[in-house]
Amino acid sequence: MEAWVSGTFPDALGAGSEHGAFREWWEAYLRTYIERDLPALGVGTAPLLLRRLLTMLAHAQGGLANVSKLARSLGVSAPTVNRYLDVLEQTFLLHRLPPYFRNVGKRLVKSPKLYLCDTGMVHHLLGVGSESELSSHPIRGQSWESFVIEDITRRERLAHPQSQLFFWRTAAGAELDLVVERDGKRFGIEVKTARASSPHLGRMLESIAQDLDLESVTVLDQAPGVEPLRRGVERRGFADSLDWLP
């Protein structure tokens, strides 16, 4: 999918992924953002430090925020990293996805997830220039997850501006990629790259739906079609769901 590889900015998407052409656009964009746009907004940053932070975030795309680890790796203080993360979020390059808390008698992860908002930028920072390179890259799964989550988030905010979005994960490892809370109801979304049809996955998601009192859980993957997996659990192909919301 071209938008996944190149990113959703029109110029990056128009450049295409042949010979990594979209990467030239992203490099020019990042240089302009770091060296011109942020100073014009009165935001003081160290360009090399910010570029290193962006690359580290790309490597950890969709991971739990660990500001102390980032600070140690960059050789700066945790407040400095937090300030840079705030700048990235306020300028729409970073998405902090908070955890969902519900009293279900389980130890829950309390750190937010961090996503660079556009997967084209992620791929550029990691040196991925084509779909074939992405298919064998370790970032593939996390990149696809963040692409789908960002797309669903945009749709939800346009259709239902008051909705809240979260992820859910227990310390034991049970998790749901996205929880949409809308008008007092909750809907779950799980993202997979391969066709999601295993009975184990269906049972696990049905159990999570009961724990969180979800109206439904939908698995979005890259395979075509729509099919039920368990009671209240459905699998949908992302390409068949471009205007879908739970």
Q: What is the pLDDT of residues 113-169, one digit of tens each?
A: 999 999 999 999 999 999 999 999 999 999 999 999 999 999 999 999 999 999 998
At 220, the pLDDT band (50, 70, 90 cuts) reads very high
> Could you give the C-alpha distances from 7 to 28, 42, 116, in angstroms and in order?
14, 27, 11
Mean pLDDT of 181-202: 94
Instruction: Give the helix/strand (H/E) hosting 191.
Output: strand 185-191
Total domain count for the chain?
A: 1
> Could you give the C-alpha distances from 114 to 22, 56, 57, 126, 240, in angstroms and in order?
23, 11, 8, 16, 27
> Could you give the C-alpha distances from 185 to 51, 140, 151, 152, in angstroms and in order?
40, 32, 20, 17
Burial (CB count within 10 angstroms: exposed 0-12, middle 13-18, buried 19+), residue 195: middle
At 83, the pLDDT band (50, 70, 90 cuts) reads very high
User: Given this model, what pLDDT does residue 163 score?
Assistant: 97
Q: Could you list the residue range(s) of the whole structural domain that residue 149 is in?
A: 1-246
Task: Assign residue 234 the CATH number of its domain.
Answer: 1.10.10.10
**pTM for this predicted structure:** 0.93
Copy the structure tokens of residue 160. Answer: 């239902």
**Phi and psi at residue 229, to the nearest 5°:** -110, -45
Mean pLDDT of 39-54: 93
Copy the structure tokens of residue 192. Answer: 């997979």
The DSSP secondary-structure symbol of 173 reads: S
Among residues 41, 61, 54, 60, the alpha carbon closest in space to that of 81 is found at 54
User: Given this model, what pLDDT does residue 103 score?
Assistant: 60
Residue 106 scores a pLDDT above 70:
no
At 171, the pLDDT band (50, 70, 90 cuts) reads confident
Among residues 182, 180, 200, the alpha carbon closest in space to that of 192 is found at 200
User: Given this model, what pLDDT does residue 15 score?
Assistant: 85
User: Given this model, what pLDDT does residue 44 score?
Assistant: 87
At 14, the pLDDT band (50, 70, 90 cuts) reads confident
Share of the chain above pLDDT 70, in %: 96
Mean of all residue pLDDT scores within the chain: 93
User: Given this model, what pLDDT does residue 108 score?
Assistant: 66
